[in-house]
Amino acid sequence: MDVSDSVERNARPEILVIGAGIAGIAAALRIRALNDSCGITLADAAARLGGKIAGDVVDGCVVDGGADVCIGSKLRATSLFAALSLGARVIRVNPDNLPTYESRDGELCKSPTTFHGELLTFREGVRELVDVACAALSDVTVRTNAVAESIQRTDDERWITHFADGTSLLADATIVAVPARAAMTLLSSLAVPAAKTLEEVAYPATTTVTMAWDADDVQSSLAGTGYLVMEPSSAVSACTWTSSKNPTHAPRGIVLVRGYVRGCGLDAVSLVRAEVASTLGVTAPPLFTRVYEWPAGIPVYPPDHDRNVSALGDALAAVPGIFIAGSTFHGIGIPDCIHSGECAGESAVTYLAARQIEEAA
């Protein structure tokens, strides 16, 4: 018996996108823009969409839990930028061209490495990008709490994805847009040995702690975007002076600061409070605190990552209908993830069209 016999068959061609971070969301949007009739399912292991993009607005303060900027030139080059009319929503980061600092032995000095391009964010933080993109998903079946465990090829070259809850989904094409370990598991289930190299992608844990103070409690002028801590042994790796870097992210009279702590499960709040007390002299209790833990944070690629991904791409050419996207493979920046999702979406649509012509012949 063909394995697909036990799975409900859809009347229309189906594309499954596994992973609803910004790469998977961008893939789904691109597929729908190019093909208004195929079925699209966007499945994610988590309870919410957006993956490493998360945030909140607290008492009028914008709290980015993960990413807080996008490289403007790259974001503008994505299809998503025009399709979602993002131009009207973006705001320029660091409009006052403030310097960034480095902390060495507790002393702040101006950083010699300054990014000269345009950095963008959104009025309600980078999470707004996910909110707007998700609102634009049209006729897309979204499944949350859906942990994909394996993918299996059917006799007629379709793909069945098996989920941890015992359900399965049959698709004509499948896009894998998940972090490296999960991608390795899924691609290995398809007998793609080149996927083994994904094991070498590291994911250091990070915690971000955002705190707000009444400006009267902060004597320092905070005339900068923040600083990087140069000692690798320091528990706090960086501090962003959010209300200076993005003045629209905090109401007048409120100072917003975000600290990056290496690792998770630590007393990150105390660590950041101690850091802020020592560099800015702020000892008053914050008005509020928000903590985001990223047990597997920003991917760090091995030196031969590009070669590994290229070899993986070659291997996947022999597995028609399976595509890859996202920060595991093609760059960690949000616009890179969007671009990669869009490319995978386009490839899946092209594949579907070629297949339909073949089947009709």
Ligand X SMILES: Cc1cc2nc3c(=O)[nH]c(=O)nc-3n(C[C@H](O)[C@H](O)[C@H](O)COP(=O)(O)OP(=O)(O)OC[C@H]3O[C@@H](n4cnc5c(N)ncnc54)[C@H](O)[C@@H]3O)c2cc1C
- 259 counts as binding ligand X under rule CB under 6 A: no
- Could you tell me if 113 and 102 are in contact, meaning their C-beta atoms sit under 8 angstroms apart? no
Binding residue for ligand X, selected from 3, 77, 108, 298, defined by CB under 6 A: 298
Instruction: Provide the mask over 277-296, with x wherever binding to ligand X is found by CB under 6 A and - wherever it is not.
Output: -----------------x--
Q: 163 pairs with which residues across the strands?
A: 148
- 20 counts as binding ligand X under rule CB under 6 A: yes
Instruction: Provide the mask over 66-85, with x wherever binding to ligand X is found by CB under 6 A and - wherever it is not.
Output: xxxxx---------------
Select from 84-92, 101-109, 142-150, 343-351 the region that touches ligand X (CB under 6 A).
Answer: 142-150
- Could you tell me if 289 and 209 are in contact, meaning their C-beta atoms sit under 8 angstroms apart? yes
Give CA–CA dist 146/193, Å, rounded: 25
Among 6, 15, 1, residue whose Cα is nearest residue 322: 15
Give CA–CA dist 358/339, Å, rounded: 29
| Residue 51 one-letter amino acid | G
Binding residue for ligand X, selected from 61, 276, 337, 343, defined by CB under 6 A: 337
- Residue 324: what are its φ and ψ, rounded to 5°? -125, 150
Nearer to ligand X by Cβ, of 129 and 255: the residue is: 129
Binding residue for ligand X, selected from 179, 259, 321, 345, defined by CB under 6 A: 179
Binding residue for ligand X, selected from 16, 22, 160, 257, defined by CB under 6 A: 22
- Could you tell me if 236 and 310 are in contact, meaning their C-beta atoms sit under 8 angstroms apart? no
- 128 counts as binding ligand X under rule CB under 6 A: no
Select from 2-10, 83-91, 143-151, 243-251 the region that touches ligand X (CB under 6 A).
Answer: 143-151
- 111 counts as binding ligand X under rule CB under 6 A: no
Give CA–CA dist 248/265, Å, rounded: 31
| Residue 48 one-letter amino acid | R
CB of 105 to ligand X, least distance (A): 25
DSSP 241-279: -HHHHSGGGS-TTEEEEEEEEESSSS-HHHHHHHHHHHH
Nearer to ligand X by Cβ, of 108 and 205: the residue is: 205
Instruction: Provide the mask over 38-57, with x wherever binding to ligand X is found by CB under 6 A and - wherever it is not.
Output: -----xxxx----xxx----
Residue reference for tokens 């399965």: 168
CB of 7 to ligand X, least distance (A): 17
Distance of CA 215 to the CA centre of its chain: 32
- 324 counts as binding ligand X under rule CB under 6 A: no
Binding residue for ligand X, selected from 247, 332, 346, 351, defined by CB under 6 A: 332
- Could you tell me if 62 and 55 are in contact, meaning their C-beta atoms sit under 8 angstroms apart? yes
- Which residues of the chain form contacts with ligand X (CB under 6 A)? 18-24, 43-46, 51-53, 66-70, 146-148, 177-179, 182, 206, 208, 294, 297-298, 326-327, 332-334, 337
